[in-house]
Amino acid sequence: MPTEAAAQEKNVTAIKTSGSIHSNLSTPGLYEHAVARKEAVITAGGALCARTGKHTARSPHDRFVIKGASTGKHVWWNDQNVALDAEKFDALFRKVEFYISKRDLYSRDCYAGSDPKSRLSVRVYTELAWHSLFISHLLIKPSPEELPAFSPEFTVVSVPGFTAMPQIDGTRGSAFILLNFEKKLVLIGGTAYAGEIKKAVFTVMNYLLPLKGIMPMHCSANLGKKKDTAIFFGLSGTGKTTLSSDPLRRLIGDDEHGWSDGGIFNFEGGCYAKVINLDAGAEPQIHAATGRFGTVLENVVYDKATRELNLNDGSLTENTRAGYPLEFIDNSIKGPAFPHPKNIVMLTYDAFGVLPPISKLTPEQAMYHFISGYTAKVANTEMGVKEPRATFSTCFGAPFMLHHPSVYAELLEKKMKKHGAQCWLINTGLCGGPYGVGKRMSIQHTRALLNAALDGKLAKVKFTKDPVFGFGIPARCPGVPPEVLNPRKIWADKAAYDAKLSELAGLFAANFGKFEVKNKAILGAGPRV
C-alpha cells in the first residue's frame, strides 16, 4: 500500500491510500492532471479556470475548533469559534480516511511564513489537482535544498467530494472545516472553494503565533524607498488592495503577515485577488495576472468556444477569484523579513460621512479601533431605500482570530511603542453628508493624505482633537483643501453632523461592550457617548 514516507514522522498524521500520492508536482504537471481529470479548463490567456460548485465563498459557520488541553484555555469561544468534541472529530476523520483509502491524492509541502525563525511547515493533501496548484502559489515553496529534509509540523487534508452528516457528525452542514491543534491536523470537506485551505492555515497561524509573542495580522504591507515598512488593515471595500499597491513602493504582500522581533514577514507566496469587474486601467497588474499561465481562476465565466474570459459576468458568483504567485506583480518584493513598520494604516469606509479623511491615533486608540474593526456598508431596506449599516469585524479579520481580541490588541500596542510606529485611521468613504447626500472621498485626496503620513510630512503639522472620538485631525496637508480635513466644516447642517457623529459613537460603544475588555487604557480610548 503506497504511503507518504514522511507519514511516519513523529507527531504527523499518517495519510494512506492504495491509490497514488502525487507529491509536489510542477505547475505544468498539475495543469495536465487537472485537465485530464476534467477539474478545470485552460483559458485563452493560459490561466487554469475551475468551478467550485455550491460553495463559491468561505463557510465561516462550518468551521469548528476541537476542544483540547491547550485550546480549552486559550480560545475565545463564541458564535464564530465553536467547539467540537474530540470524539466527533475522530469519528469523522475515520470516515475521511476510508473515503481517501482508494483515491489518488496530491501532496504539497510548503511553509506558512517567509521568516525561517517563525514559519510553520505544512503538508497539504488535496483531492483536486488544481487545489494543489492553488496552495503552491498561496503558501511558500521550500527551496530545492530544503525539500529533501522537509518535516511537516501541521497537516491539512482537503476532500471536497466527502460530505458530512450533521445529525451524526456534529457539524452544522455537509461542509466542514475542522482545526485540531492536539493532532496538528486540519480537515476540510464538502466544499471545493480553495480559499478555505488558505484561510484555515491563516487561522492556525493566528492561534500559534501569539503564544510565542508574535503578532499575526490580516493586512497588506509595502516597503518605501527609504526601507520604511507600512501595514494596511481594512475590510472589503475600504481600498486596502488599491492603496497598498503603490507604484512608488514595493508590495510585500496583500493579505497575511506576522510581526516578530525580527520585523514584518509575509505568510504567503502569492495573492488571492477578487476579479469581478476588474478594470485593466485601475488594476493593470492584477488584470494581467488573470491571463497568465500558472494563475488559478475560480468561478470566472469564459466563452466556451474561445475560452476568452468575461470578468464582468457575476452569474456564478460576485466572488470570482484569481490565485497567482507574488512575482506576477512587478513591484513586489520577497524576503525573509522586512523592517519594523513606522506607519500603521487602518482603513474604513464610513458611509455615515462623519469620520475625517485621516486622523492620528494614540497607541491606546489604535488598540480600540483595531478591536472594533469598523467599516460601513450600504444595504437595501425592505422599502428599497439604501441606508448605511455599520459593520464591525474584530481585528479586521474576526473569522480567523481564535484568541480574545485583547490578546492581539495588546501585542499591537507593545510593538507600536517598542518600535515607534504611528497609527493612522483613513476614511475612504463619504464626506459632506451621509449616504444620499455626501460624496465619496476623492482618491487623489486619499493618496495625498496617505503619502504625507508615510513620508513624515504630517509630523510637522498641528492637530486638533476631535471632541467625540478624541483622535487628532491635521490642520493642513499638501494637495488637500483645508476644509476637507475636518468633516464638520463641509456638512451644510452642523446639527445633523453632530447627531450622526453621536449615533456612530453609540454604535462603537455598543459593539465594544460585547468584548468585556478589562484594560482601562483601551476602554478610555473609545468615543465619548
Q: If you average pLDDT over residues 119-147, what whole number do you get?
A: 97
Cα–Cα distance measured from residue 435 to residue 102, given in angstroms and rounded to the nearest whole number: 57
pLDDT of the residue at 438 = 86
CA 336 and chain centroid, separation: 20
pLDDT of the residue at 8 = 38
Cα–Cα distance measured from residue 449 to residue 477, given in angstroms and rounded to the nearest whole number: 7
Cα–Cα distance measured from residue 20 to residue 107, given in angstroms and rounded to the nearest whole number: 10
Q: In terms of pLDDT, which residue wins out, 378 or 234? A: 234
- Active site includes 466? no
**Look-up of cell digits 488544481:** 130
pLDDT of the residue at 460 = 87
Q: Give the percent of the chain with pLDDT over 70.
A: 96
Q: Residues 397, 403: contact at Cβ < 8 Å? A: no
Residues in the chain: 529
Least confident of 233-247, 307-321, 383-397: 383-397
Least confident of 299-308, 317-326, 518-527: 518-527
For 472-513, what is each residue's pLDDT tens digit?
999 999 999 998 999 999 999 999 999 999 999 999 999 999
- Active site includes 321? yes
- Active site includes 377? no
Q: Residue 300: is its pLDDT beyond 70? A: yes
Q: In terms of pLDDT, which residue wins out, 385 or 17? A: 17
User: Does 112 reside within a domain?
Assistant: yes
Phi-psi domain of 387 (left: phi exceeds 0; alpha: psi -120 through 50; beta: other): beta
Nearest CA among 330, 423, 407, 304 for reference residue 369: 423
Q: Which amino acid is at 57?
A: A
Q: How many structural domains is the chain composed of?
A: 2
Catalytic, out of 108, 198, 218, 287: 218
For 395-408, what is each residue's pLDDT tens digit?
999 999 999 999 99
SS3 14: coil
SS3 44: coil
pLDDT class for 5, splitting at 50, 70, 90?
very low
Cα–Cα distance measured from residue 201 to residue 186, given in angstroms and rounded to the nearest whole number: 8
- Active site includes 199? yes
173 and 28 in a single domain? The answer is yes
Catalytic, out of 3, 236, 303, 418: 236
Cα–Cα distance measured from residue 448 to residue 423, given in angstroms and rounded to the nearest whole number: 17
- Active site includes 391? no
- Under 8 Å CB-to-CB from 36, ≥6 apart: which residues? none
Q: Residue 450: is its pLDDT beyond 70? A: yes
Q: Residues 123, 109: contact at Cβ < 8 Å? A: yes
For 178-214, what is each residue's pLDDT tens digit?
999 999 999 999 999 999 999 999 999 999 999 999 9
Cα–Cα distance measured from residue 343 to residue 232, given in angstroms and rounded to the nearest whole number: 9
- Active site includes 183? no
Task: Count CA within 13 A, CB hemisphere, residue 445.
Answer: 20
For 7-41, what is each residue's pLDDT tens digit?
334 466 779 899 999 999 999 999 999 999 999 99
355 and 504 in a single domain? The answer is yes
Grid coordinates in use for 304?
Answer: 466556451
**In which domain, by residue range, is 170 found?**
5-39+59-212
Kindly list the distances between the CA atom of residue 262 and the CA atoms of 63, 110, 117, 415, 419, in Å, as whole numbers in the listed order: 32, 21, 9, 11, 11
* Max Cα-Cα span within the chain: 76
- Under 8 Å CB-to-CB from 271, ≥6 apart: which residues? 253, 254, 255, 286, 289, 322, 323, 324, 326, 328, 329
User: Does 246 reside within a domain?
Assistant: no
* Domain containing residue 489: CATH number: 3.90.228.20
Q: Residue 340: is its pLDDT beyond 60? A: yes
User: Does 315 reside within a domain?
Assistant: no
Q: In terms of pLDDT, which residue wins out, 237 or 506? A: 506
Grid coordinates in use for 130?
Answer: 488544481
Q: In terms of pLDDT, which residue wins out, 11 or 297? A: 297
pLDDT of the residue at 382 = 34
In the listed set 212, 240, 266, which residue is the last one of a domain according to the structure?
212
SS3 145: coil
Q: If you average pLDDT over residues 305-311, what whole number do you get?
A: 98
Average pLDDT, the chain: 93
Degrees (nearest 5) of the Cα angle 61, 66, 69?
A: 145
pLDDT class for 381, splitting at 50, 70, 90?
very low
Catalytic, out of 33, 55, 58, 415: 58
User: Does 121 reside within a domain?
Assistant: yes
In the listed set 212, 233, 262, which residue is the last one of a domain according to the structure?
212
User: Does 239 reside within a domain?
Assistant: no
pLDDT class for 3, splitting at 50, 70, 90?
very low
Q: Give the percent of the chain with pLDDT over 90.
A: 87
* Domain containing residue 186: CATH number: 3.40.449.10
SS3 121: strand
User: Does 44 reside within a domain?
Assistant: no
User: Does 303 reside within a domain?
Assistant: no
Q: In terms of pLDDT, which residue wins out, 383 or 151? A: 151
For 67-123, what is each residue's pLDDT tens digit?
998 899 999 999 999 999 999 999 999 999 999 999 999 999 999 999 999 999 999
User: Does 223 reside within a domain?
Assistant: no
First to last CA, the chain: 67
pLDDT of the residue at 130 = 98
In the listed set 153, 180, 212, which residue is the last one of a domain according to the structure?
212
SS3 49: strand
Q: Residue 385: is its pLDDT beyond 80? A: no
